[in-house]
Structure 1
Amino acid sequence: MQAPQKARWDVFILILRYLKSAPRKGLIYHPNRHMDLVAYSDANWAGSASDRRSTMGYCTFVGGNMVSWGSKKQTTVARSSAEAEYRAMEHTTAELIWLRSLLLQTSLLVSKLMKMFYDNQAVIYIASNPVYHEQIKHIEIDCQFVRDAVIKKLVETPFVSSSGQLADVLTKSLFAPNFCMCCNKLSMGDLYAPA
């Protein structure tokens, strides 16, 4: 607002075009017989051209319905893609543990093992291997938090291919077909369509 730039104006116009084309879009919730907690987490390493900070994003599902999501620029510059991804994984792990405790307080049955899908096999390996820490000392606290959750069998970190990573919609710009595919998998649909 203080110093408008053409690049920001162009982004603003793109956002307005999207909002104008999708006034009826919303989240559609379906009844399910399970209360499994599942998350997708991703990071866009050095995605910001101005300060090279990474953007992390996550979306969490309870019983197959999306209940929380977020996208945030990381506060420090990551020295590697694994570091950026691992910080995103730590943030998502904290969100899953908080959601699980909230559901347990409301007496809803929740399976103990929560799944966090990730598209970076190096980060998954770091989370499950307690010895592999010499190269990642600068993010050791984040690693220990996630590793403890994995060891306690609270969180499982299965691999998901980049084409199936739903958190991509929160961390990077996607081509229209990929964007529409992610929106459909996140249960976004026309709120006024006949049932």
Structure 2
Amino acid sequence: MDLRALKYVLGVKIARGPQGIFMSQRKYALDIIAEAGLLGAKPVEFPMVQHHQLAVAEGPMFDDPEKYRRLMGRLIYLAVTRPDLAYYVHILSQFMQVPKVVHWEAALRVVRYLKKNPGQGILFRFDSDLRLEGWCDSDWGRCPLTRRSVSGWFVLLGYSPISWKTKKQPTVYRSSAEAEYRSMAAIVCELKWLKQLLGDLGIQHPA
């Protein structure tokens, strides 16, 4: 049975071109903007202000926590094709239980950022050499409540992004070096798993 070339699945648009396969969630992003009532709002250049203090923010509670949770759930799914949202979704999803008005406003800023380029996605390039490369970083003691660090890593297969994550580290470390080593250990585990997966698919990766 010929199902023809895949073009759209679970809100993800898949387009094939001379450079490779492009995946985006433009319609899904526009739906998020419309539901938030920000179709006429001005886009912003950055999803979140620098040196934010959302974890210790004061102010009234948001009167509709379910609305906040729904928006965060949609942003989490949008991050499937938007690595640039990973950190901001990680930060804002920590307040889903008892969000405050300031958290809702921060989430709306992320939605306004989507207006800048709702069709942004990821490109799996045809000219990729199937070589794994990874980058990682750690922000030492960033959380003002727990003093735990936040790690982030990003993996490319050739020129194509295939894996990324932002996560708060489970332990408080005494130095930035310890936090960086933990971040490196996490990405090494990811790279070893991806290497084994490639091997199972018949693609041998050099050590």
TM-score (norm 1): 0.54
Is it true that 1:22 corresponds to 2:134 in the alignment? no
The corresponding residue for 2:180 is 85
- Out of 72, 87, 92, the position equivalent to 2:167 is 72
Task: Give the letter for the 2:157 counterpart.
Answer: V
- Out of 37, 51, 58, the position equivalent to 2:132 is 37
Where do 1:112-127 residues align within 5 Å?
112=207
- Encode CA deviations 1:131-157: one digit per residue, 9 max, x unaligned: xxxxxxxxxxxxxxxxxxxxxxxxxxx
1:24 aligned counterpart, secondary structure: coil
Q: Identical aligned pairs, as a percentage?
A: 36
- Out of 185, 193, 198, the position equivalent to 1:98 is 193
Flag structure 1 segments of 5+ consecutive residues without an equivalent: 113-195
Structure 1 residues 4 and 15: CA distance shift in structure 2, 3 A: same
- After the TM superposition, list the runs of 4 or more consecutive aligned residues in structure 1 that deviate by more than 3 angstroms: none
- Out of 98, 101, 104, the position equivalent to 1:9 is 104
The corresponding residue for 1:136 is none
Once the two structures are TM-superposed, the CA of residue 9 in structure 1 deviates from its matched residue by: 2.3
The corresponding residue for 2:12 is none
Is this contact kept in 2: 1:39–1:61, CA < 8 A? yes
- Out of 137, 140, 152, the position equivalent to 1:57 is 152
Task: Give the letter for the 2:194 counterpart.
Answer: L
User: Rg larger in 1 or in 2?
Assistant: 2
Q: Distance in 1 between matches of 2:128 and 2:166?
A: 29
Q: Distance in 2 between matches of 1:38 and 1:108?
A: 15
Greater helix content:
1
Once the two structures are TM-superposed, the CA of residue 85 in structure 1 deviates from its matched residue by: 0.7
Task: Give the letter for the 1:67 counterpart.
Answer: I
Task: Give the letter for the 1:16 counterpart.
Answer: V
Where do 1:177-192 residues align within 5 Å?
none
TM-score (norm 2): 0.51
Q: Distance in 2 between matches of 1:51 and 1:22?
A: 35
Q: Distance in 1 between matches of 2:98 and 2:157?
A: 42
Q: Distance in 1 between matches of 2:144 and 2:188?
A: 28
Q: Distance in 2 between matches of 1:4 and 1:64?
A: 38
Q: Distance in 1 between matches of 2:106 and 2:172?
A: 23
Is this contact kept in 2: 1:37–1:111, CA < 8 A? no
Task: Give the letter for the 1:3 counterpart.
Answer: V
Task: Give the letter for the 1:108 counterpart.
Answer: I
- Encode CA deviations 1:48-96: one digit per residue, 9 max, x unaligned: 2222211101011112211111110111112111111110100000000
How many residues end up aligned between the 2 structures? 112
Higher RCO structure (Cα 8 Å, ≥6 apart): 1
Flag structure 2 segments of 5+ consecutive residues without an equivalent: 1-64, 66-96
Once the two structures are TM-superposed, the CA of residue 33 in structure 1 deviates from its matched residue by: 5.3
